[in-house]
Structure 1
Amino acid sequence: MRLKEILETVTNSWSSAIHEQFTDHPVANLLRQELLREVKKEVSLFDPSYEVKSSAGAGNWASVPWLSILNPRITTSTQSGVYPVYLFCADGSGLYLSLGFGTTELKEKYGTQGARKESAQLREEIRKSVTKLDSWNETINLNSNTSLGKSYEWASAGAKFYPANSIPDDNILLSDLNEILSIYSSLEGVKMNENTNNDKEVSLQSLSKPLLLLAGISGTGKSRFIRKQAEKTGSLNETYCLVSVRPDWHEPSDLLGYISRLNGAAEYVITDVLQFITKAWRAIVDAGISVERKYIDNQGEAFAASGEHEQLHSVLPYWLCLDEMNLAPVEQYFADYLSVLETRQWSWNKSEFCYLSDPLLKATTINQLSEPDKLREELGLADEKYDVLWQLFCKHGIGIPFNLIVAGTVNMDETTHGFSRKVIDRALSFDFGDFFPNDFSEYFNPTTTNKALTYPIWSFVNIEQLPDIDIDGKKSIAFLNSVNEVLDNTPFKLAFRSLNELLLSVISQQPQSDTELKAIWDDFLMCKVLPRIEGDSDKLAHNDIEKSLLMELHSTLENELSDIWHEPENSDSARPDLYREKNDGSVITIPCRSKKKITWMQNRLSKSGFTSFWP
C-alpha cells in the first residue's frame, strides 16, 4: 500500500473508528504497522539510525494519533527534544507533517503557560536558524478537545497540512518528508534551551522512613526546609509539591481524589497529590528501572519495580510537603497512606533490588471509570513509554513510589489535632528546633548547612548490612531492651517495628565508632520513642512512687549513653550531628538531644501535671 493510500484510509476512517472497539481495530493496526513500515523505509534511506514510532492510543483511542521520527543524537523520547511528526486531526479532516517538540518535560518544569512561552521561544530560535522553514506554516489546528492534543498545536516550529480530501501523491509526500528530515539533521549539535536533565552531584543521606513529621513553633522554617531539600537534589517544579491541608479533610479522597458521576459518566477527579505520586513513578521509569508483573511467593502476582543499585543514583527523591498537616485529623484523611506505607517491601540480591507496595489507588477504582484513558492523560502517562506502567496501574493499582518522601509540617496548639501512636509509629518525628535550630547570629552568614536527604532503600534489616561497629546488632538490641524495661507495662512499650527501625537507622547511617552509634540511638529516641510518651502524673507514674517514668528513663539512658550524656557542645567527645554539617563539610558536635528533651518533659510534668513531646 502506498503512503498516500495509507494516509487517506486513516483520515477518512478515523471519525467512525474511534466509536468502535480499539483492540485489534484495522485503523489502529494500519497506523502502527503499515504506516510505520512505509515511513521507516524512507527514513532508513536518509539515516538508518533514526527511530520511527507511532501510536493510535494505548488501551483506548488517542485524540490525536501520530507517527514520530527521532534522531537519537537529539532525543530518544517524544516527551522532550525536537522531532518530525505526522499529526492526524482529531476529527479526521486531515493531517500535518510537523517539526514538533516534546511538551511533557517542558510542562513539568515550567507549567502549561510557561511551557507555551518556552515553546514560542524555541520555535523562534529554530525558524531563525533554518530558513527552509519559511515556507512551512507556523500554526496548527488539530481540532482536539484534550490537553495533550491541544499541546501539539503550539509545540511546532513549522508544519505542512494535507486535507483529507486532497492528500498529494507519494512523490510530493516523500519530497516533503525528505525536506523535513534534512532540516532536522541540520539541528543536530544545535544547543536548545529546553534540557531538563539534572546534573547535580550531591552527597545524600538515606532516611530510614519516607514519612517525616516536622514539629515546631510557627516561623522556624519547617516548610522552607522541605523546599530546600528538593532544591538540593532536583528542581522545585519537578521534585517538590506543596499541599496545604484543609481543616475539613476527613476522607482519603480529599488527598487522592474520587469518582464523580455528576454527568452520568464515571470520571475521576484527580488531586495534586495523585498527580505528584504518578510523576514520581514516571521518574522511576525514565531512569530505566523495570516496572513489571512478578510472581511473589505466598503473595501471587504483584506489581514490582526492579533494577540495579547503580540505577538508583539517577532516581531523585520527590518531596511532598503537607503544610499544617494536623489542621485535620491525620488518622482520617491519611488512613490509606499510613496503612499502605507498612506494605513497602525492598528485597536485595547482591546489587539487584525488587520493590513492592500495595496500592493507594486500587485497580478496581480505575476500572470503574467510563474513560480510563482520560485519567491516563491527566496523570501524564500518555507517552507510549509509559504503556507498561499504565497497564500495571490498571491491573494492580497505583502504589507508593519508592522515591516519594512525605514531609508534614506540624504546629501543636488549640487549633490543631494531636497524633495517635499509629501515626507516630509510622513516621520520623523531628522536634524541628532541636534538630535544625534557628541561630540569629548566622542569619546573614551561615556557617552550617543541612545535609541532603533521600529515600530509604531498605524495609527490613538483613544482618549482612549492619556495620562493623554493631556487626550482629546486639549492641542496638541490648540498648532497646534497656529502654523497654522502663516502658514495660505501659502503653508506650516498643515492639518489633521499633527494633527494625532502629536497625534500619544504623544501616542507613553506617556508624564507624561507638560515639556515632550512640548518636543514632539518641536521635532514635527523639524521633521514635519520646514522641509516643504523653500524659498526666498518674499515667506516667512508675513502679517507684517517688519517680516518674521520665525520671526512670533518664537514669537508664544516663548509663546507656554515658559516652555522650554529659558532653557539652563542641567537645571533642560530644556526639556528631547526623543531619547538619559545616559549610566546609566538617562534622558538627552537639550535646545529647534526648537528655535535654527528657529534662524538659519532666519539668513540664512537674509544673503542670501533664507533659508531651511536642513543643
Structure 2
Amino acid sequence: MSFQTYCDLISDDQKVKAEKTLLLTYTNSKGEAFSISPESIKLFLSFLLDNYDVVHSAWDKVPTRKDYIYQYEEKSYREIYKTASDEELKIISSTGRSQTKALTKLIAKLIGFLTESTYESPEVNTFFEESRLRLALEKWTDFVGMDSSNKKNLSNLIIKEQFKSWMINKGLSERTASSYSGAGINYCDKYINKVGVNVNSFYQLNSEQVLDALKELGRVGEWLQADKSGNSMYSAACKKLAEFLTEKYSISYTSLSKPFLLLAGISGTGKTRFVREQAKTSKQFAETYCLTSVRPDWHEPSDLLGYISRLAKDGKAEYITTDVLQFIAKAWRAIADSGLTVEVQESEDLGKRLVVAGERDELDKVLPYWLCLDEMNLAPVEQYFADYLSVLETREWRWTGDSFTYSSDALLKPVTIKEVADIDKLREALGFGSADDGKYNELWELICQYGLGIPFNLLVAGTVNMDETTHGFSRKVIDRALSFDFGAFFPNDYYDFFTPTSRNKRLSYPFWSNASKADLANTFDADGAKTLAFLSAVNAVLKNTPFELAFRALNELLLAVASIQPKDDLALKAVWDDFMMCKVLPRIEGDTDKLTTSDGKALLLELNTVLANQLAPIWLASETDEANQRPDLYREKIVADDATDEEKILRIPCRAKAKLEWMSERLASATFTSFWP
C-alpha cells in the first residue's frame, strides 16, 4: 500500500500526489498546488526530534495555542516552523510560515502513514510528538514502496478505517464506531494466537473466520470475563466486523438477459464444470446446483417435469416427481425464505397469477439456482423441453421505482395437482414439508390453487456437443436461449493452466422481461436509438430469408443493453457483438442457395459488410490494438484486490468477425455451413 493510497482514503479538501515522484504535490484550502521533497520533510522531522525542547518552548509561548502540541493552531505552528532556521531547512521553514495548515496536513499524513496511525485532522492530531516522530524516522523508507510487513499493517489500517466509516453510515455513533474498530478489535487481537489462525489481527480474516474465531474466544475465560464486564463490547465488535466484511467482499453478479443458456463446444472444454463453478458462489452450493443427465429416450415433457400415474394398487392418481421438478420447488422455497412476499394478484392482461413482490434490496439477497441439463441434445429438445420453452416466454417482471412483481404461467398446473389423490404426499415429495410443520403452508396452498411456475432465481444451462450422436436445434429453441460458443466465450488457454490470468464473471438471473426506455436511461444508448439502428441494419440483410429477426429479437437485444449497462461506445458495441454470437449467427445455416439474400447476394458477405460498419472500431481492432478492442462482458483479469474497475477489464477482439470468417470459409470449402463447431 502506497502513501498515495493512504492519502486517497482520507476525506478532506487536500489533494496529494505522491506516486513514484521525487516531489510531493499537495494543495491548500484554495486548491492551489505546492511541491516539496520527501527528503526535506525527513530533515524537518529529524530537526523536531533533536530539538524538541526548543520547539516545544516556541509553541508554548503562543497565547492562542491548544492544550497539546499535537493539536494544530495556526499561530503556534507558524512558530514551530520558524525554529527550523538551518540553511538546509530553509524551504520547509518558509513554506510552513506561508502555507502553515496545508504543509502540516501533508506532514501529519506522512507521519500517520509511517506509524500506521489513523489520520483524522490536524486539529485532532498532527502526530508532532516525540514518540511518533521517533517511530516515523525509524520506519522511514521509500514510502511509495513499503516492505511486506508494513504493507500488511497498512492494509489492516485501511480496513479499520473503512470498518469505522461503514458503522457510522449504518447509524452507529462515532464514539461507538471508534470503540468497536479500535479498542474492541485491538483487545481481541491480544488473543489471536488462541483461535487457530496464522495472522496477527482480526482485520486479516474474512467474515467466516471472524465468526469462527469469536466462537473460540468464547472458550477463553479471561476474554469472556472481560467481554461480559464490558457489556459485550468485544463480541459485538467482532460480529459487526463480520457483517462489514460480508458486505464489503460480497460477490458481484452480471445479470443475464435470459435465464436459459446453451453452452456448445467440443467435449472436455469444461462446460459442465462452468455451471458447477457458477453455483459455487455460495456456501449453499449443494442447495443451489442440480445436475441432470439427459437421456436419449426422452421424448416428452413428463421425462423432465414428472407425470400422473394410476398404477398404484388402488388405481388412484399419484404424481411421479423428478429431480428437476424438486429443484424448481427448492428455488421457490428459497424465495419464500428470503422474506419476499408470495401472493396472488389479478391484472387485466394476465388474469390471476402467483406473484412474487418486494423491494430491490430484498431481491438482491436471493441466490441464483443453477439447473444443468448435461448433454442436453442427446434427445430432441423441442419435444421433452417444449412445456418449459412455452412457459419461459410468459415470465413477467414489472417495476415501480425500487419495487417489483414477478410472475409466470404454471409448469405444474393446478388442474394436475387437483387430480392427485394424496396431495400431502406430493407436497412432501416436492420438499414443502408436512402441514404439521406449518412453515410453507401458505405457499403450498397458493401453489395448489394457481400452480407451480418458473421461479425468477432459476437458471437453466444446457451443455451441448454437436456430433453424429446428437440432435440439432430449431430456431424455436435458439430464439428462446442464449447460445454460447463455449470456446469463443470461455477459451481454454493451455498457458493459463497453472497460473490463470483471467476468470469468469459470476452470472445471475435477469431482472426484466420487457425492455423500456427507463431501463436504458443510464446507459450509453439512453433512448435505444443506436441499438434500434444497429438491429435494423442487420435485419435488412436477413429480410425475406429464413433467418429474419422478429420483434422478440429487438426486445432481447434491448434487455441485454439494460442488463450490462454499457457506459461507452466500446461497451455498447460489445453487447451488440455478443448478441450476434448468442442470438443471430446461431440461426444461420445452410448451403449456398439457402444463404442468399432476397436480391441474389451472398448473405454472409453482405452481413460482413454491414457489421464492419456497425461494429467499428472493434471490428478492425487487432490482438495488439487494445485501445479499440471491446471489453469482455463475461470474463475479467485476475488482478490485485485493490485494483480499479478499469484495471480488471479484459480487452478482446471482435467475436462475431472471427465466427463469420469461420462460417464463410466452411461454406466455401464444404458448400454448407452453420454456427456450430
Q: Does TM-score exceed 0.5, indicating one fold?
A: yes
Offset of residue 228 of structure 1: 0.4
Q: Is the 8 A contact 1:428 1:528 kept in 2?
A: yes
Taking the aligned partners of 1:468 and 1:461, their CA distance within structure 2 comes to 13
Mapping of residues 543-558 of structure 1, within 5 Å = 543=598, 545=600, 547-558=601-612
The question of 1:243 aligning with 2:305 is answered no
Query: In the alignment, which residue of structure 2 is the partner of 1:503?
Result: 558
Query: In the alignment, which residue of structure 2 is the partner of 1:369?
Result: 420
**Counterparts in 2 of 1:526 and 1:438: CA distance versus 1, 3 Å:** same
Offset of residue 233 of structure 1: 4.0
Offset of residue 298 of structure 1: 3.2
Q: Which secondary structure state, in structure 2, belongs to the residue aligned with residue 208 of structure 1?
A: coil
**Counterparts in 2 of 1:282 and 1:492: CA distance versus 1, 3 Å:** same
The question of 1:591 aligning with 2:663 is answered no
Among 219, 226, 230, the alignment partner of 2:275 is 226
Offset of residue 296 of structure 1: 1.2
Q: Which secondary structure state, in structure 2, belongs to the residue aligned with residue 224 of structure 1?
A: helix
Offset of residue 350 of structure 1: 0.3
Instruction: Tell me which of the two structures has the higher relative contact order, counting C-alpha pairs closer than 8 angstroms and 6 or more residues apart.
Output: 1
The question of 1:531 aligning with 2:531 is answered no
Q: Which secondary structure state, in structure 2, belongs to the residue aligned with residue 251 of structure 1?
A: coil
Query: In the alignment, which residue of structure 2 is the partner of 1:115?
Result: none
Q: Is the 8 A contact 1:318 1:404 kept in 2?
A: yes
Taking the aligned partners of 1:233 and 1:470, their CA distance within structure 2 comes to 34
Q: Which secondary structure state, in structure 1, belongs to the residue aligned with residue 617 of structure 2?
A: helix
Offset of residue 540 of structure 1: 0.4
Q: Is the 8 A contact 1:206 1:455 kept in 2?
A: yes
Cα deviation code 1:136-176 (max 9, x no counterpart): xxxxxxxxxxxxxxxxxxxxxxxxxxxxxxxxxxxxxxxxx
Q: Which secondary structure state, in structure 2, belongs to the residue aligned with residue 237 of structure 1?
A: helix
Q: Is the 8 A contact 1:344 1:356 kept in 2?
A: yes
What letter corresponds to residue 352 of structure 1 in structure 2? S
Mapping of residues 322-333 of structure 1, within 5 Å = 322-333=373-384
Q: Is the 8 A contact 1:289 1:305 kept in 2?
A: yes
Among 451, 454, 458, the alignment partner of 1:400 is 454
Taking the aligned partners of 1:250 and 1:498, their CA distance within structure 2 comes to 28
Cα deviation code 1:313-369 (max 9, x no counterpart): 210000000000000000000000000000000000001000010001111111111
Mapping of residues 129-208 of structure 1, within 5 Å = 201-208=250-257
Query: In the alignment, which residue of structure 2 is the partner of 1:517?
Result: 572
Offset of residue 389 of structure 1: 1.2
Offset of residue 543 of structure 1: 4.7
What letter corresponds to residue 455 of structure 2 in structure 1? P
Unaligned runs of 5+ in 2: 1-218, 220-235, 237-245, 640-644
Offset of residue 234 of structure 1: 5.0
Q: Which secondary structure state, in structure 2, belongs to the residue aligned with residue 469 of structure 1?
A: coil
**Counterparts in 2 of 1:552 and 1:209: CA distance versus 1, 3 Å:** same
Q: Is the 8 A contact 1:341 1:400 kept in 2?
A: yes
Offset of residue 265 of structure 1: 2.0
Q: Is the 8 A contact 1:245 1:327 kept in 2?
A: yes
What letter corresponds to residue 470 of structure 2 in structure 1? T
RMSD over aligned Cα, in angstroms?
1.9
What letter corresponds to residue 612 of structure 1 in structure 2? S
The question of 1:415 aligning with 2:469 is answered yes
What letter corresponds to residue 355 of structure 1 in structure 2? Y
Offset of residue 201 of structure 1: 1.2
Q: Which secondary structure state, in structure 2, belongs to the residue aligned with residue 564 of structure 1?
A: coil
The question of 1:339 aligning with 2:390 is answered yes
Cα deviation code 1:203-235 (max 9, x no counterpart): 100000000000000000000000000002453
Among 534, 548, 551, the alignment partner of 1:493 is 548
Query: In the alignment, which residue of structure 1 is the partner of 2:359?
Result: 308
Cα deviation code 1:212-259 (max 9, x no counterpart): 000000000000000000002453211000000000000100001111
Among 408, 429, 450, the alignment partner of 1:357 is 408
Taking the aligned partners of 1:575 and 1:600, their CA distance within structure 2 comes to 20
Q: Which secondary structure state, in structure 2, belongs to the residue aligned with residue 578 of structure 1?
A: strand
Query: In the alignment, which residue of structure 1 is the partner of 2:54?
Result: none
What letter corresponds to residue 348 of structure 1 in structure 2? W
The question of 1:475 aligning with 2:530 is answered yes
Taking the aligned partners of 2:386 and 2:523, their CA distance within structure 1 comes to 38
Taking the aligned partners of 1:354 and 1:543, their CA distance within structure 2 comes to 44
Taking the aligned partners of 2:532 and 2:420, their CA distance within structure 1 comes to 50
Q: Which secondary structure state, in structure 2, belongs to the residue aligned with residue 303 of structure 1?
A: strand
Query: In the alignment, which residue of structure 1 is the partner of 2:348?
Result: 297
Query: In the alignment, which residue of structure 2 is the partner of 1:86?
Result: none
Query: In the alignment, which residue of structure 1 is the partner of 2:5?
Result: none
Among 603, 607, 613, the alignment partner of 2:669 is 607
Offset of residue 386 of structure 1: 1.2
Cα deviation code 1:43-66 (max 9, x no counterpart): xxxxxxxxxxxxxxxxxxxxxxxx
Offset of residue 468 of structure 1: 4.0
Taking the aligned partners of 1:468 and 1:588, their CA distance within structure 2 comes to 20
Query: In the alignment, which residue of structure 1 is the partner of 2:623?
Result: 569
Larger radius of gyration: 2
Q: Is the 8 A contact 1:204 1:451 kept in 2?
A: yes
Cα deviation code 1:251-310 (max 9, x no counterpart): 100001111111122111110000000000000000001110111123332111100011
**Counterparts in 2 of 1:593 and 1:234: CA distance versus 1, 3 Å:** farther
The TM-score normalised by the length of structure 2 is: 0.61
Among 255, 264, 278, the alignment partner of 2:304 is 255
Taking the aligned partners of 1:461 and 1:347, their CA distance within structure 2 comes to 10
The question of 1:384 aligning with 2:438 is answered yes
- Higher-strand-fraction structure: 1
Cα deviation code 1:451-505 (max 9, x no counterpart): 0000001000121110341111000000000000000010111111000000000
Query: In the alignment, which residue of structure 2 is the partner of 1:136?
Result: none
Offset of residue 544 of structure 1: 5.7
Query: In the alignment, which residue of structure 1 is the partner of 2:11?
Result: none
Taking the aligned partners of 2:283 and 2:368, their CA distance within structure 1 comes to 8
Q: Is the 8 A contact 2:261 2:461 kept in 1?
A: yes
Query: In the alignment, which residue of structure 2 is the partner of 1:212?
Result: 261
Among 456, 473, 498, the alignment partner of 2:510 is 456
Q: Is the 8 A contact 1:569 1:589 kept in 2?
A: no
Taking the aligned partners of 2:503 and 2:470, their CA distance within structure 1 comes to 30
Q: Is the 8 A contact 2:543 2:597 kept in 1?
A: no
What letter corresponds to residue 346 of structure 2 in structure 1? Y
Taking the aligned partners of 1:477 and 1:352, their CA distance within structure 2 comes to 28
Query: In the alignment, which residue of structure 1 is the partner of 2:614?
Result: 560
Query: In the alignment, which residue of structure 2 is the partner of 1:427?
Result: 481
Q: Which secondary structure state, in structure 1, belongs to the residue aligned with residue 548 of structure 2?
A: coil
Q: Deviation above 6 Å: which 4+ runs of structure 1?
A: none
Residue identity (%): 63
Taking the aligned partners of 2:441 and 2:622, their CA distance within structure 1 comes to 58
Q: Which secondary structure state, in structure 2, belongs to the residue aligned with residue 470 of structure 1?
A: coil
What letter corresponds to residue 538 of structure 1 in structure 2? D
Q: Which secondary structure state, in structure 1, belongs to the residue aligned with residue 649 of structure 2?
A: coil
What letter corresponds to residue 592 of structure 1 in structure 2? C
Among 299, 320, 323, the alignment partner of 1:269 is 320
Taking the aligned partners of 2:464 and 2:350, their CA distance within structure 1 comes to 37
Q: Which secondary structure state, in structure 2, belongs to the residue aligned with residue 565 of structure 1?
A: coil
Deviates more, 1:396-405 or 1:291-300: 291-300
Offset of residue 385 of structure 1: 2.5
Q: Is the 8 A contact 2:264 2:466 kept in 1?
A: yes
Taking the aligned partners of 2:528 and 2:594, their CA distance within structure 1 comes to 32
Alignment: residue pair count = 422
What letter corresponds to residue 393 of structure 1 in structure 2? I
Taking the aligned partners of 2:493 and 2:457, their CA distance within structure 1 comes to 32
What letter corresponds to residue 425 of structure 1 in structure 2? D
What letter corresponds to residue 250 of structure 1 in structure 2? H
Q: Is the 8 A contact 2:542 2:597 kept in 1?
A: no
Query: In the alignment, which residue of structure 2 is the partner of 1:97?
Result: none
Taking the aligned partners of 1:406 and 1:299, their CA distance within structure 2 comes to 24
Q: Which secondary structure state, in structure 1, belongs to the residue aligned with residue 513 of structure 2?
A: coil
What letter corresponds to residue 616 of structure 2 in structure 1? S
Q: Which secondary structure state, in structure 1, belongs to the residue aligned with residue 514 of structure 2?
A: coil
